[in-house]
Every structure is written in C-alpha cells, then in structure tokens.
C-alpha cells in the first residue's frame, strides 16, 4: 500500500511510520519533490487494516500498489531515482560509463587500464576480483588481492569502482573495498545474496539474468530494496535466444520498458550482450539513443592475452574513439556525460 502524506512535517511522518509498523508492515519513506509518500510493504492479506490510516488528519490518501515490485516501480515513486556512487551521480540526466577489464589480472594491468579509461572519459572503473565461470577450471579471480588492487586504482585515478559479489559471505569483505556491488546475471535470482546486499547501504548494480524476464529482474531489485537498500541500478546484458551469431541477444527494448515500469536507472552492457568487440561500439550508440542512463564496457590493453572475455573487450584506443562517437547520441537524449 502507498500512503500519501498531506503533511511534510517530520513528526507527522514518523507517527504514520509508527502506525504502519504496529500493523506488522515495513515502512519505506519516499521523499519526492512535491510530496512525501510511505510505502507499506508486507503481507497483502492484511492491507485493509492500512486503509484505516486514511482517517488520520495528516494523511491525504491510501491506495494499493498493483505491481509486485512495490518499491522499484512507479506507483509509489513517480520520479526517477538518483543513485550516488562516491562522487558519481547515476540518473538525474547524467550518462555514466563504467569501463575496465573483465578480471583484475595484476597491479600493472589494472592501474594502466584505470588511467586509460579515465583519460577517455569514463566516470567509473569496473573489474572482477571474484569471477563466476562456466568451467571450474577457468580463472576464478584474484579475490581479496584483486579488491586491494582495485582500491589502489581508485586512489590513483579517483574513479569509484564496481565489482561482483558472488555469495552472502563475501558481501562484508567486498563492502570494505568497493563503491558498488555488482550482482551478475547468474546470481540475479540468488535471493539469499540479494537479501544480503540489501542490508548494506552500498549501491547495487543488478544485471538481468540471461533467461529472465523484465518482471523477474524488477522482482529481484525488490528483494534488495525491501531489505532497506534503495540504491539499485538495473542492467540489461543480453538474454539467451535461438540466435548463435552473438553471445547473447542484447534486448535494447528493455530500456523503454524498464523506464516505463520502474523508477530505477537503467544501464546497458554491450560487451556481454554481443560477445564480440566489433559489435560493441554500434550497440553503445544504440544504447545511448534508446534512453539508457549509462554503459558498462569491458576494456583490455591486450585482449588476446586476457584471462577472461578477451573477445568482447575493446582496446583503449577504440574505447576512447567510442566515447567520442557516442557523445552526440547522449546529447540527443538530453543527457550529459560530465
């Protein structure tokens, strides 16, 4: 249920929150530009009890949320969410590019790439310290040593970084180093992990599962937000179809659909979406033109020698060229890259 406040007085809001919690619901305060609403999340079978709050003098109205994704949707929050990751603002008219290698492979490698993507205009660094791989014999990441190197790269360049967390047990350690959690496609419906990162205030970059619907992606975001963490960014990274010419099928139509259904920022990952560096730049342009809030792009100085996903990684010079070429598309959509 959504409780629309007639008052923005803090004492009145806290009084309604207290009444909501007494009825056995979690209360999520959503401060808008023009109004304050309280989303009451819990067992729908008792929602008639919440309707009685409409009799309070400082409550304007109470109405049900029809969608299953109550906090991620637009019924409770009509305005677009803005997520702050260190000094970087995601949403609110900005266009953010996260770039870096699939895996952290060593100190020289990550420091070099971090500086090069920054020089090209990227605002955030990406890099995997823990790597979920299809084969148990493939490179699994440098783990905590990789986190330490990402932290060093942040200190050297000023770029906040996002990195993947794979298990609930890893979350506290990753949170010590990272500016943003990444939930990979394979873990989008790992509900224990979603609940774990939801207990932190660290922003979460949530990738769509390769065989998941848009509704399932939004329900996964809801798991995180229901635990008290509203700082979620959605990412379309390609889905499995019958097509074999690309690694996945990049569903760019997800951008306008998500923008209609959800208040959360939406990113595109064209590297995983295509699996081929030759297709990445065109899809970056298309992503900007579709209204996305940003990109996640894999960049490697020597893709042929990369420990993982070299085939889909851009070399630094091509990445810099791509950053210049997407600028008109970003501007066309009324967004700013800086």
Torsion angle, alpha carbons of 60, 62, 66, 72, to 10: 60
Contact 315, 300 (CB under 8 A): yes
Q: How many CB atoms lie within 10 A of CB 190?
A: 18
Sign of CA dihedral 186, 189, 193, 199: positive
Domains of the chain: 2-63 (3.30.70.1140), 83-332 (3.20.20.70)
Tell me the pLDDT of the chain (338 aa) as tens digits. Answer: 889 988 888 888 999 999 888 888 888 888 877 789 888 888 766 677 888 888 888 898 888 877 889 899 998 888 999 999 999 999 999 999 999 999 999 999 999 999 999 999 999 999 999 977 666 656 667 899 999 999 999 999 999 999 999 999 999 999 999 999 999 999 999 999 999 999 999 999 999 999 999 999 999 999 999 999 999 999 999 999 999 999 999 999 999 999 999 999 999 999 999 999 999 999 999 999 999 999 999 999 999 999 888 999 999 999 999 999 999 999 999 999 97
Q: Phi/psi at 44 (nearest 5 deg)? A: -65, -20
Spatial separation of the C-alpha atoms in residues 286 and 51, rounded to whole Å: 45
The model's pTM is 0.90
12: tokens are 């009145």
């Amino acid at each position: 249920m959504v409780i629309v406040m007639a008052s923005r007085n803090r004492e009145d809001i806290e009084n309604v929150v207290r009444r909501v919690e007494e009825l056995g619901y979690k209360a999520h305060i959503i401060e808008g530009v023009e109004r304050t609403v309280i989303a009451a999340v819990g067992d729908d079978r008792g929602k008639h009890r919440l309707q009685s709050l409409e009799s309070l003098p400082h409550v304007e109205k109470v109405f049900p949320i029809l969608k299953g994704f109550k906090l991620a949707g637009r019924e409770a929050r009509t305005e677009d969410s803005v997520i702050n990751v260190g000094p970087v603002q995601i949403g609110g008219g900005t266009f953010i590019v996260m770039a870096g290698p699939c895996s952290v492979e060593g100190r020289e490698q990550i420091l070099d790439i971090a500086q090069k993507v920054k020089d090209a205009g990227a605002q955030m660094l990406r890099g995997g310290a823990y790597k979920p791989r299809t084969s148990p014999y493939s490179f699994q990441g440098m783990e905590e040593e990789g986190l330490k190197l990402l932290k060093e790269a942040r200190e050297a360049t000023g770029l906040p970084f996002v990195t993947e967390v794979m298990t609930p047990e890893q979350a506290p350690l990753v949170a010590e180093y990272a500016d943003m959690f990444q939930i990979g496609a394979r873990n989008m419906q790992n509900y224990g992990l979603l609940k774990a990162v939801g207990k932190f205030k660290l922003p979460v970059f949530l990738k769509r599962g390769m065989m998941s619907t848009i509704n399932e992606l939004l329900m996964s975001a809801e798991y995180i937000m229901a635990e008290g963490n509203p700082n979620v960014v959605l990412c379309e990274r390609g889905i499995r179809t019958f097509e074999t010419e690309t690694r996945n099928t990049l569903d760019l139509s997800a951008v306008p659909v998500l923008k209609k259904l959800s208040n959360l920022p939406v990113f595109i990952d064209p590297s995983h979406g295509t699996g081929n560096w030759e297709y990445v730049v065109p899809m970056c342009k298309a992503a900007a033109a579709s209204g996305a809030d940003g990109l996640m792009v894999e960049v490697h100085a020597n893709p042929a020698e990369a420990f993982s996903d070299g085939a889909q990684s851009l070399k630094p010079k091509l990445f810099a060229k791509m950053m210049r070429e997407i600028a008109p598309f970003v501007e066309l959509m009324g967004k700013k890259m800086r």
